[in-house]
Amino acid sequence: MSDATPPGSSAAAPLPTLADLRQRIDAIDTQLIDLLVARAEVVETVGAVKRAAGEDVGIFLRPGREMDILRRLLKQAKHGRFRKSVIVRIWRELFAAMVAVEGPLTAAVYMPSRGAGYLELARDSYGAYTPMVAVPSPGSVVKAVANAEVTVGILPMPHLGDTERWWPALASAAPGTPSVVGKVPFAGPGPGRGDGIEGLVICRLPQENTGHDRTYITIEADEDLSRTGLRSLAENAGLVVVEMPDTDDTSPVARLHLLEVETCILPTDPRLTDLSREAAIRRVSVIGGYAIPFTADDLV
């Protein structure tokens, strides 16, 4: 009996050897390093172009653009076998490294007690090697960012009845007042992070519109206007209220409310103007917002 391949059929191609495959992996790794070096060179040039144009480049962070990049990359990886959560983590480290090429990137992190989890959350989000300082109170985080002692601050999510409210300070019109620019984690908790802890990021930057955002606004209103009544006024003005995380009622004559609303809302939005004309409303302020983080479904 002949072992010859029958006419019209083709023999299966032989599998490559392990040595061949390892050479291919090494070649890909070399290409990756070359591309990272090239990316860093482009980033340096971006900084030089900004300086030549006379831009204020004290802060090189671009939270909105970073999320746009991640969304594009996850779409590109839609049919791949590489875990999307890992892609996000790799690029978060890459973003931090590239910002450090242009200028300083440091963080103040709320840390009320050892093991509270915010420092791990910050490192997962802004790089394992980014210089970070742990501070015991939310107010200290806001102060550190406002005084340009650090680039970003990591703060706890606001909740009704908080004893250490940090968000009213962001309603100030003083120069250098930080804004909310992000919500972390960007793609769910990291390995071993089963506590579900979340936080908000503040920086001396305005919120960027990515097309898939939320905004925080503060509303100072008469003391006798209920939270339900305020929500109705906001919705009648055309705002889509996601929730009202907190209300500061420490003043005897007025209450300061925090609202989270859909989309990126600018201070000049006519809906805010309409709302501010209500008799019971004293002042409306935008204190920033964030690009909506990836959900579990986004990472499948």
Domains in the chain (CATH in brackets) are 213-291 (3.30.70.60)
- What is the arithmetic mean of pLDDT over 110-127? 91
pLDDT at 162: 93
Query: Which of the four pLDDT bands, split at 50, 70 and 90, describes residue 48?
Result: confident
pLDDT at 2: 52
pLDDT at 3: 54
Share the mean pLDDT of the chain: 92
Who wins on pLDDT, 3 or 123?
123
pLDDT at 78: 77
Three-state SS annotation for the chain: CCCCCCCCCCCCCCCCCHHHHHHHHHHHHHHHHHHHHHHHHHHHHHHHHHHHCCCCCCCCCCHHHHHHHHHHHHHHCCCCCCCHHHHHHHHHHHHHHHHHHHCCCCEEEECCCCCCCHHHHHHHHHCCCCCEEEECCHHHHHHHHHCCCCCEEEEECCCCCCCCCCHHHHHCCCCCCCEEEEEECCCCCCCCCCCCCCEEEEECCCCCCCCCEEEEEEEEEECCCCHHHHHHHHHHCCCCEEEEEEEECCCCCEEEEEEEEECCCCCCCHHHHHHHCCCCEEEEEEEEEEECCCCCHHHC
Query: Which of the four pLDDT bands, split at 50, 70 and 90, describes residue 54?
Result: confident
Q: What is the pLDDT of residues 199-229, one digit of tens each?
A: 999 999 999 999 999 999 999 999 999 999 9
Quote the CA–CA distance of 260 and 277 in Å, as a whole number.
Answer: 20
Query: Which of the four pLDDT bands, split at 50, 70 and 90, describes residue 103?
Result: confident
pLDDT at 226: 96
Who wins on pLDDT, 242 or 57?
242
Percent of the chain with pLDDT over 90: 79
